[in-house]
Structure 1
Amino acid sequence: MDVNGDTQHPLFELLKSHCPSPVSKFRPREKLFYTPQDNSDIRWNFEKILVDRNGTPLRRYEPGFLPADITSDIEAIITGEGCLRLIISHLTRTPSGFIASPST
């Protein structure tokens, strides 16, 4: 199943349209084997997208996030608290671009 490019699956098109990429840059872009390339593309395996019980994508996490790192976000969705907080992307500026900040 393709997650990026012209042949991406519609599910991934939907998920990516709701949640910005947690990483702002491609590294290295010339080694990617699909077109077109878009800033919303999934960058690597194990990127995660949190979806609520209604199927609404709420937050996207870079591959380095462990499942334990998103526990508080999952609990916020289950209890109905903090959903708006999750819709707003948690990004931190770094010298190499933007990355998602761990949940608190």
Structure 2
Amino acid sequence: MHTLKHVRPGDGYVPNFQIMAKCEVNGEGEEPLWTYLKSTIPAPSDDRGGTGSDFIYQIQPNSMPIQWSPVRRSDITWNFEKFLINQDGKPVKRYSPKFENANIVADIEALLKDPDASM
């Protein structure tokens, strides 16, 4: 919240509503938004940072086991996985956590020019 005090609207602004909260994105207790996004686009469209493999299994081998159930192939694999949503609220593309944010710009620009663009 300290950051919001120093950017627009500034002047010590502190919202009187919750900005964000932690939620489940995988497993039995996942939020409906994530169920919808994953069912619409089951896998990232990029090459997962050059690995071309299921990133979820690469992050787990020497660490603790997966903490949710059921495990599905469409599960969100790690922080920074991204979904691009068009002007009508329809998911059009999914990116792996290793996909560089700057590289999404071209897709956003294409979508702004043509909301029906196929990604």
TM-score normalised to structure 1 length: 0.74
Which one has the bigger strand percentage? 1
Residue pair 1:51, 1:58 contacting (<8 A) in 2 also: yes
Aligned to 2:113: 79
**Are 1:33 and 2:40 matched, yes or no?**
no
Shift of 1:20: 2.1
Structure 2, unmatched stretches of 5+, are: 1-22
Residue pair 2:87, 2:115 contacting (<8 A) in 1 also: no
Larger Rg: 2
User: Identity over aligned residues, as a percent?
Assistant: 39
Q: Aligned equivalents of 1:58 and 1:5: distance in 2?
A: 23
Q: Aligned equivalents of 1:32 and 1:69: distance in 2?
A: 29
Write the letter of the residue equivalent to 1:19.
Answer: I
TM-score normalised to structure 2 length: 0.65
Residue pair 1:76, 1:82 contacting (<8 A) in 2 also: no
2:91 is aligned, of 37, 53, 57, to 57
Structure 1, unmatched stretches of 5+, are: 87-104
RMSD: 1.9
Greater relative CO (CA pairs within 8 A, separation 6+):
1
**Are 1:2 and 2:24 matched, yes or no?**
yes
